[in-house]
Amino acid sequence: RRGGCPVPVAFRGAFAAASAMTGVSASVLVATAYEESHMNPLARSGAGARGLLQLMPATAHTLGLDERDPANNVLAGARYLKEMLDRFGSLELALAAYNAGPSAVERSGGAPTVASLRYVKNIELRASQLAGC
């Protein structure tokens, strides 16, 4: 689809459902997944984060979801991002907290590192280009 959402067909329903359930825009969720995993459901970080939205198993467990299932991974990531939005009140701070952890954002009053700020800006830019999601 031209001008549409570049999410693989297999994951479109998961992103739409997670967005509807949490109120986090699908474009932000999709942009976060591209930044976190390049839309690879099997991605795993050196720290142990897994899946499309790179959740730590303990975070997913706290949210009551299995991070190994792509749809649950997207929903868990959306729920966590929603928690960060509610906690910090801005997308920029919420994304920084998603990346670096809420304690680091609270200590620094914003993105705690240049890498974290770059992460936030990359997601904001991509999300702005994904209005079709």
Show the 3-state SS of 41-77.
Answer: CCCECCCCCECCCCECHHHHHHCCCCCCCHHHHHHHH
* Residue 88 Cα to chain centre, angstroms: 15
Cα distance between residue 68 and residue 70, in whole Å:
6
Cα distance between residue 117 and residue 115, in whole Å:
5
Dihedral sign computed on CA atoms, order 104, 60, 25, 70: positive
Q: Which residues contact 6 (CB under 8 A, 6 or more apart)?
A: 30, 130
* Catalytic residue (choose from 36, 92, 106, 124): 36
**Residue 36 annotated among the catalytic residues of the structure:** yes
Task: Please identify every residue annotated as catalytic.
Answer: 36
